[in-house]
């Protein structure tokens, strides 16, 4: 008799435990469904590269794959400090080099290099290390950005930054306008004689505003960029000037 009561008690305890686990699982699922109800913002991946860098083509190819993904804003930014070896990068600019150096200071790096990828303004990685890149993108995707930007098709286009708690000193609002794809025949330098492919090459990068916590509406001349053959644009809000990305959005301009 005592044994039967013990068995009944054990079965009852197991049933209660199973019920509690079921209810807890349901709560987790419900919480997850709520958290996933809003579309996550894309992860910003900036590749600092050069046509004169022999180790860059694998990273350029990887960025091309990332550029095809909806969950990523992939930007190819060409630096000019490789030009001295005999080939002038056709997309390089001093402004891009200065932006990379600013990241170096912000991330407390000992030096800048190519191919360097900056993920969401928070961390850098060698752009040809696929597994490391994918891992950092996955971590960034799990980190919810506080600002959900939106485009409005009004008066040539505009971007709206919602109100919120701004970092001390505010946040820079950047507009990056980029091309789709380029094939470049490199005549000299480390890649001399090679034909290289580049995706989402940034042709214009400018700070178009500073967000200090208020709702901010900034007009964009997207029709002009489209008329000049640009493929897309991205608006990125970063803490400080090149700090962590607080919000980002992209738009196709080539139809």
Q: What is the largest CA-CA distance in the chain?
A: 94
d(CA 43, CA 73): 6
Domain parsing of the chain, residue ranges? 43-252
Return the pLDDT at 26: 36
Strands across the sheet with 245-252, in order?
202-211, 171-178, 232-239, 245-252
Return the pLDDT at 209: 97
d(CA 119, CA 124): 6
pLDDT at 16 over 60: no
Closest CA to 74 of 159, 222, 197, 178: 178
pLDDT at 28 over 80: no
d(CA 51, CA 81): 11
Q: Using 50, 70 and 90 to split pLDDT, how confident is the model at 221?
A: confident
Mean pLDDT of the chain: 86
pLDDT tens digits for range 132-181 = 999 999 999 999 999 999 999 888 789 999 999 999 999 999 999 999 99
Percent pLDDT > 70 in the chain is: 84
pLDDT at 92 over 80: yes
Return the pLDDT at 95: 95
pTM: 0.84
Which is more confident, 201 or 28? 201
For every residue of 7-55, DSSP letters joined together read HHHHHHHHHHHHHHHHHHHHHHHHHHHHHTTSPPPPEEEEEEE-TT-TT
Return the pLDDT at 38: 58
State both tokens at 124.
């850098």
């Amino acid at each position: 008799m005592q044994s039967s009561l013990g068995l009944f008690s054990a079965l009852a305890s197991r049933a209660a435990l199973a019920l509690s686990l079921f209810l807890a699982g349901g709560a987790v699922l419900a919480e997850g469904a709520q958290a996933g109800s809003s579309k996550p913002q894309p992860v910003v991946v900036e590749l600092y590269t050069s046509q004169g860098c022999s180790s860059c083509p694998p990273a350029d190819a990887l960025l091309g794959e990332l550029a095809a993904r909806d969950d990523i804003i992939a930007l190819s930014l060409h630096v000019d400090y490789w030009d001295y070896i005999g080939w002038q990068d056709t997309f390089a600019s001093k402004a891009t080099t200065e932006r990379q150096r600013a990241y170096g200071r912000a991330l407390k790096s000992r030096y800048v290099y190519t191919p360097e990828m900056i993920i969401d303004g928070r961390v850098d990685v060698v752009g040809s290390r696929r597994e490391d890149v994918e891992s950092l993108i996955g971590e960034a995707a799990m980190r919810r950005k506080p600002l959900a930007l939106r485009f409005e098709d009004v008066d040539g286009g505009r971007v709206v930054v919602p109100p919120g708690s701004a970092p001390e000193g505010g946040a820079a609002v950047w507009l990056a306008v980029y091309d789709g794809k380029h094939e470049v025949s490199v005549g000299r330098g480390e890649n001399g004689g090679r034909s290289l492919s580049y995706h989402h090459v940034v042709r214009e990068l400018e700070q178009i505003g500073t967000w200090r916590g208020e709702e901010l509406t900034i007009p964009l001349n997207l029709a002009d960029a489209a008329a000049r053959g640009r493929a897309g644009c991205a608006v990125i809000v970063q803490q400080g000037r090149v700090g962590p990305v607080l919000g980002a959005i992209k738009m196709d301009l080539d139809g």
